[in-house]
Amino acid sequence: MFEPVILAQILWTGVANSSYIVLLTVAFALTLKVLKLFNFAQAAVMATAFYAMFFAYGTLHLPPWLGIAFGLLAAGVVTAAVEIYGFRVLRRRRSSSLTVFIFTLVISELLAHVFALCFGTEPSTLFPSIVSPVRLIGGLAISDWDLGAVATTAVLLIFLVSFVRFTKSGQALIAVADNAELAELYGIDVKRSYMLTLLVACLFVVAGMYLYGTRSGVIPETSLDLLLSAVIATILGGIGNVYRAAGAAVFVALVQSFSILFIASRWQGVLTFAVLFVTILLFPEGLKLPKMRFFRLTPSVRPSMNAIASPAAAPSNEP
C-alpha cells in the first residue's frame, strides 16, 4: 500500500485533481483580496460558465475553443451585472457584511434555480465522454486530462503573476487592494479595478469549470459545493494571500487524496469540513509559512467584509 509508485501515483492524481480547485480558489482569493468580500456569487458565475459551455457544445455544436469563448462571454456578463447592479449598490449603501453575504448567496441560488429549470437536475458533462487517453510514464498512469489541467493551471497562474507585476492595470489592483481610497487619490479608477478583478477571476472560473466539466458531472448546485473547497483553501492559505491560497488548494487536495490510505473515501467530505472548522478556530489567519517575496500580491492584514463599504478602512501592512 505504501509502495513508492503508489504514493507517487496518489501524489500526481492529487495534484492533477487540485487544478480546478486551484483555479477557483485563485478567483475567490483574488476577489477577497481586492474587493474585500467573500464572493459567494462566484458560484453563480461558475454555474453560468458551465451551462453556457454545455449549451455551446450540446446544442450549438461549437468547437471547443469557441465553446470556451461562449462560456467566458456569458460568465463575464453575469460578473459585470453582479458588480454593477449588486456590489456597487451595496457599497454605496455601506451595507453590512451580512447583507453582502446574503446577496451573494441568493444570487447563486437564483441562477442555480434558473439552470435547473432550463437544463434539469441530472448530472451533465461538457462532452458525452469523460474518458481521457492514459499513458504510462515511469510506472505512473498519466492521462491527457491530467496534463491539460496542470498545464492550464500553470499558464493561468503565470499570466496572473505577469499581469500583476508587469501591467499598469495589475499594479492598480495591488494599489486598490492595499488602500482603495489612497489609490483613488493617486488617480486610479477604483471601480474599474474592481470590475477588472472580477473579470480576471471570471477567466479563472471559466477555466476551472471547463476542467471540472470535462471530468465530472455537474448539477446546478455543484458550483456551491466546489466553491466551499475554494473557501477552505483561501482560509487555510491565510485570507488575503492569493498564491498561498492556491498552494493551500493543492494541500487540501493532497490531504484528500492521501486520506484514502487511512480512511474510507466516504469520509473525505467530513474531513474537508473538519479541516475548515478547525482551521478557522485554531488558525484564523491561516497556516503561517515563510513569506514568498517573489510575488507582489503578498498578504495584508486580514480583510473584513465590512470593508466593502469602505475598502480603505481595511488597514494594510504592505510596504
Q: By the criterion CB under 8 A, which residues form the site for other proteins?
A: 38, 89, 93-99, 101-103, 105-107, 109-110, 112-114, 116-117, 120-121, 224, 228, 231-232, 235, 266-267, 269-270, 272-274, 276-277, 280-281, 284, 304-306
Q: How far is CA 229 from CA 43, 58, 273, in A?
A: 12, 28, 9
Separate counts of helices (H) and strands (E) for the chain: 12, 2
The rounded distance, in Å, linking the Cα atoms of 113 and 110 is 5
Encoded amino acid at 121, one letter: T
Q: Which is nearer to other proteins, 87 or 210 (CB)?
A: 87
Rounded Cα distance between 74 and 84, Å, is: 15
To the nearest whole angstrom, how small is the minimum distance from the Cβ of residue 268 to other proteins? 9
Could you tell me if 293 and 234 are in contact, meaning their C-beta atoms sit under 8 angstroms apart?
no
Kindly list the distances between the CA atom of residue 302 and the CA atoms of 248, 271, 284, in Å, as whole numbers in the listed order: 17, 25, 9
Residue 131, burial from CB neighbour count under 10 angstroms (0-12, 13-18, 19+): exposed
Contact between residue 235 and residue 105 where contact means Cβ atoms under 8 Å apart: no
Least gap, CB of 319 to other proteins (angstroms): 25
Minimum gap (Å) between residue 269 Cβ and other proteins: 4
Nearer to other proteins, 43 or 190 (CB): 43
Contact call for residues 139 and 149 (beta carbons, < 8 A): no
Q: Which is nearer to other proteins, 18 or 108 (CB)?
A: 108
Least Å distance, CB 154 to other proteins, is 29
- Shortest Cβ 280–other proteins spacing (Å): 4
How many Å apart are CA 175 and CA 186, to the nearest integer?
10
Min dist. Cβ of residue 283 to other proteins (A): 11
Name the residue nearer to other proteins (CB basis): 95 or 179: 95
Q: Could you count the other beta carbons within 10 Å of the beta carbon of residue 259?
A: 16
Q: Which of 98, 36, 35, 29 is nearest to 286 (CA)?
A: 29
Q: Which is nearer to other proteins, 150 or 309 (CB)?
A: 309
Pick between residue 100 and residue 188 the one whose CB is nearest to other proteins: 100
Q: How many residues does the chain have?
A: 319
Residue 230 CB, shortest distance to other proteins, in Å, is 12
Taking residue 243's Cβ as centre, other Cβ atoms within 10 Å add up to 20
What minimum distance in Å lies between the beta carbon of 106 and other proteins?
5
Q: With respect to other proteins, which residue has the nearer C-beta, 144 or 285?
A: 285
Between residues 35 and 175, which has the closer beta carbon with respect to other proteins? 35
C-alpha cell of 22?
486551484
